[in-house]
């Protein structure tokens, strides 16, 4: 996905921010097929343009509470082939849980401060469009703190858990190795151990990485799998 033109629909009610993001994404090789200022415009734009990913502000008109996330959840149900990346000014774990509860990949949740870092935003868009996850580190931390159920996560070693947390944020094995200051081979072993402990067997069609992340979030208070 990173080698192809990424088609994006952007939903943001602020005209200034919307136009700025269009310019920045265009400069990074993304095609913004359409923009939207309301949830209704977003749904119509996605239906018409069939983008690779929709970028959605959580707070949109008319009440600026959860209209954006409601539209994102609807898109997850009706357009599962479209990746969804939502962004918000604040951490709202309830919103993150609603977005993740469908139990599939192709989803991201970032804070606006991270969206402002264009390179990180574009990397997240490609991961989400490719069926992966891109969760803000602060979101992952908050979901962990809300943990209600225990199970397979308790069987993980501290290093395996660190590896899985970074997987939830969307990091590759190489990126995880750099952050943990270990070899890629060591990361591969940790990832394999996570798959084994979560009962995820090898499959050409199943994305075990995404399944492991979703299972992890389910046991720490996030998505239901």
Using a 10 angstrom Cβ sphere, with 0-12 exposed, 13-18 middle and 19 or more buried, the burial of residue 176 is buried
* pLDDT tens column, 125-167: 998 998 888 888 887 777 666 554 456 777 889 999 899 888 8
Q: Do domains 6-141 and 147-219 have the same CATH topology?
A: no
Of 175 and 202, the one with more pLDDT: 175
CA angle (52, 172, 3) in 5-degree steps: 40
The CATH class, in words, for 6-141 is alpha beta
The DSSP-derived string for 161-225 is HHHHHHHHTT--HHHHHHHHTS-HHHHHHHHHHHHHHTT----SSS-HHHHHHHHHHHHTTS---
On average, the pLDDT of the chain sits at 83
Rounded to two decimals, what is the model's pTM?
A: 0.73
Distances (CA, A) of 225 to 97, 103, 211: 12, 5, 8
CATH of domain 147-219: 1.10.10.10
Taking 70 as the threshold, does the pLDDT of residue 3 lie above it?
A: no
Question: What per-residue confidence (pLDDT) applies to 148?
Answer: 44
3-state secondary structure of 111: strand
Domains in the chain: boundaries: 6-141, 147-219
Q: Determine the pLDDT at residue 102.
A: 63
Give 205-220 pLDDT, tens digit per residue. 456 777 777 677 666 6
């Amino acid at each position: 996905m990173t080698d192809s033109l990424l088609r994006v629909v952007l939903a943001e009610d602020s005209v200034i921010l919307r136009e700025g993001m269009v310019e920045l994404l265009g400069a990074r090789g993304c095609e913004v097929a359409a923009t939207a200022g309301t949830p209704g415009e977003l749904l119509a734009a996605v239906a018409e343009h069939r983008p690779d990913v929709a970028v959605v502000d959580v707070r949109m008109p008319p009440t600026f509470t959860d209209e954006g996330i409601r539209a994102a959840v609807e898109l997850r149900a009706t357009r599962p082939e479209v990746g969804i990346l939502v962004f918000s000014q604040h951490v709202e774990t309830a919103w993150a849980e609603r977005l993740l509860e469908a139990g599939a990949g192709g989803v991201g949740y970032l804070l606006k401060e991270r969206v402002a870092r264009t390179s990180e935003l574009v990397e997240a868009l490609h991961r989400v469009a490719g069926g992966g996850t891109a969760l803000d580190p602060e979101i992952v931390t908050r979901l962990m703190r809300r943990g209600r159920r225990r199970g397979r996560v308790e069987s993980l070693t501290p290093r395996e858990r660190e590896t899985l947390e970074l997987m939830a944020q969307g990091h590759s094995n190489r990126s995880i190795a750099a952050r943990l200051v270990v070899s890629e081979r060591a990361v591969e072993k940790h990832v394999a151990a996570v798959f084994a402990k979560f009962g995820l067997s090898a499959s050409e069609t199943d994305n075990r990485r995404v399944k492991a992340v979703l299972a992890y979030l389910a046991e720490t208070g996030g998505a239901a799998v």
